[in-house]
Amino acid sequence: MQAKEAAEKLGISQRMLRHYENAGLLSVGRTVNGYRHYTETDLRRAARIRDFIAIGFSTRELRAMKACLADEGAGPCEGGIERLTEKLTHIDQLQADLDLRRNAVLQRLTALRRDLAVAS
């Protein structure tokens, strides 16, 4: 199938498909007239790439996880559990940082409201 149909089927833009290819994550065949031609295998790989990006992986990180993107890597893949665990740890650290910031803003807001009430 051509890029437009593949993108629609995956729920992403054609530009994203080209980005996956330019990042070295997806290698797509071409028709005789030069158009990209996506196979079902390409679509499954692109869907995995899309899903990993959606949960926070960068294309750089995904290049190190190529085995997890292929059909053979649809199940357990070398380093997959370790990399997902690392990503989860990173997300937990980000969440903790956001919680600290949120609490600081709430404290500041409470103090400002209290000071306004006293001044009134």
70 and 37 housed in the same domain: yes
Residue 77 reports pLDDT greater than 80 = no
- If you write DSSP's letter for every residue of 69-108 in order, what string do you get? TSGGGSS--TTHHHHHHHHHHHHHHHHHHHHHHHHHHHHH
For residue 94, the enclosing domain spans: 79-120
Pair 14, 7: CB distance under 8 Å: yes
Provide the domain count of the chain: 2
Query: Each residue of 38-64: pLDDT tens digit?
Result: 999 999 999 999 999 999 999 999 998
Are both 46 and 1 inside the same structural domain?
Answer: yes
- The arithmetic mean of pLDDT across residues 98-104, rounded, is 98
Residue 87 and residue 64 share a domain: no
Query: How many angstroms separate the CA atoms of 24 and 84, rounded?
Result: 21
pLDDT at 89 over 90: yes
Same structural domain for residues 4 and 37?
A: yes
Domain co-membership, 69 together with 120? no
Both 55 and 87 in a single domain? no
Residue 32 carries which DSSP code?
T
**Where residue 57 sits, what CATH number does that domain have?**
1.10.1660.10
Residue 76, pLDDT score: 66
Q: Give the percent of the chain with pLDDT over 90.
A: 78
Q: Which is nearest to 10 in space by CA: 44, 34, 41?
A: 44
Q: Does residue 26 sit in the same domain as residue 57?
A: yes
Beta bridge partners, 29, equal 37
